[in-house]
């Protein structure tokens, strides 16, 4: 009775993968099993751990740590936009700039004696003096947009241990990451993108 692996015996059942592995182990294909296993592990590990940030970095023209120094609303064709002026401290991707302006949909309009607030679900609301890691798209440094809206704005806070942590803007109480770790990871991703 042949003990080697016979692909023609296989059908596309849920046990397909298990059967392949089992047949490989029983036959003369352990090396192939290792190859196959490594390929799959590589695929899962790489994409799940890195690609969220990878895509964010890939789609961004500028990635930096900055401080919001000014907020103003402009109304264009009846639509308010908030222009957030950000002084950059450290850049991880993009041309070297000291100050950039981010355009965010929504803002405040004074109409008569009343204030009309316009917001867009998912758009972060930065505050003056707030520090953040920003992922920005666009070529004009006065017309930059947050990449992925809230995904591109990681507010920087100090945690209970006195360390700087960054969290995505949507997260009111969500997970955080130490700023140093985030910077290192971003730098690594940017390096990978260049290669």
Partner 1 sequence: MLACVFLTLPLYAFEIKEVAVSSTLRTLRWNTANGPVRITLNSKGSDDLPLGEVENSVRGALDAWQSVPNQALTFQYAGTSSLAVQNSSDQINSIVWIEKNWPLSSSVLGITKYSYWLEDPPELFDVDILMNGQDQHWSTSLNPGSGKHPQQVLMHELGHLLGLSHSSVINAVLYPFLSSDVRLKLSKDDRAAMKFLYGVPVLDFQLISPIQGAVFSELAKEDLPLPVFRWGNGGQSDFTVEFSDTKAFSRKKTVAVGQGTSYALTSSMAAKLDAMSPVKNIYWRVASGSTTTHPRVFRFRKPGIGQLSGIGAVLTADTEMAEIWKDTAILFLAGITISILVITWMRHREGYNRARLRG
By beta-carbon proximity to partner 1, the closer residue of 53 and 88 is 53
67: left (phi over 0), alpha (psi -120 to 50) or beta: beta
User: Which of 25, 53, 26 minimizes the C-alpha distance to 191?
Assistant: 53
By beta-carbon proximity to partner 1, the closer residue of 69 and 193 is 193
Three-class SS state of 166: strand
Q: How far is the CB of 69 from partner 1 (least distance, A)?
A: 23
Chain residues in the site for partner 1 (CB under 8 A): 4-7, 17, 20, 24, 27-29, 32, 35-36, 39-40, 42-44, 47-53, 55, 59, 77-80, 105-106, 108-109, 111, 114-123, 145, 147-151, 168, 170-178, 181-182, 185
Contact 91, 97 (CB under 8 A): yes
Three-class SS state of 104: strand
By beta-carbon proximity to partner 1, the closer residue of 67 and 106 is 106
By beta-carbon proximity to partner 1, the closer residue of 87 and 125 is 125
Distances (CA, A) of 112 to 77, 78, 107, 109, 115: 18, 15, 16, 10, 8
By beta-carbon proximity to partner 1, the closer residue of 23 and 68 is 23
Q: How far is the CB of 168 from partner 1 (least distance, A)?
A: 6
Q: How far is the CB of 63 from partner 1 (least distance, A)?
A: 15
Q: How far is the CB of 71 from partner 1 (least distance, A)?
A: 15
Q: How far is the CB of 123 from partner 1 (least distance, A)?
A: 6
Contact 20, 10 (CB under 8 A): yes
Kindly state the helix (H) or strand (E) to which residue 130 belongs, with its residue range. none
User: Could you tell me the two tokens for 44?
Assistant: 């899962």
């Amino acid at each position: 009775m042949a003990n080697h692996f016979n692909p023609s015996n296989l059908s596309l059942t849920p046990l397909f993968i298990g059967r392949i592995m089992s047949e490989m182990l029983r036959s003369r294909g352990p090396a192939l099993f290792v190859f196959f296993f490594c390929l799959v592990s590589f695929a899962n590990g790489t994409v799940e751990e890195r690609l969220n940030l990878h895509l964010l970095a890939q789609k961004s023209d500028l990635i930096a740590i900055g401080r919001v120094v000014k907020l103003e609303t402009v109304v264009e064709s009846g639509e308010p936009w908030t222009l957030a002026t950000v002084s950059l401290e450290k850049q991880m991707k993009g041309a070297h700039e000291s100050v950039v302006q981010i355009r965010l949909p929504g803002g405040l309009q004074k109409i008569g004696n009343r204030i009309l607030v316009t917001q867009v679900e998912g758009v972060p609301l930065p505050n003056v003096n707030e520090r953040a890691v920003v992922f920005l798209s666009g070529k004009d440094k006065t017309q930059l947009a947050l990449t992925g809206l809230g995904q591109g704005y990681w507010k920087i806070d100090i945690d209970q241990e006195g360390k700087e942590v960054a969290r995505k803007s949507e997260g009111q109480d969500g997970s955080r990451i130490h700023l140093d770790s985030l910077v290192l990871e971003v730098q690594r991703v940017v390096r990978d993108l260049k290669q």
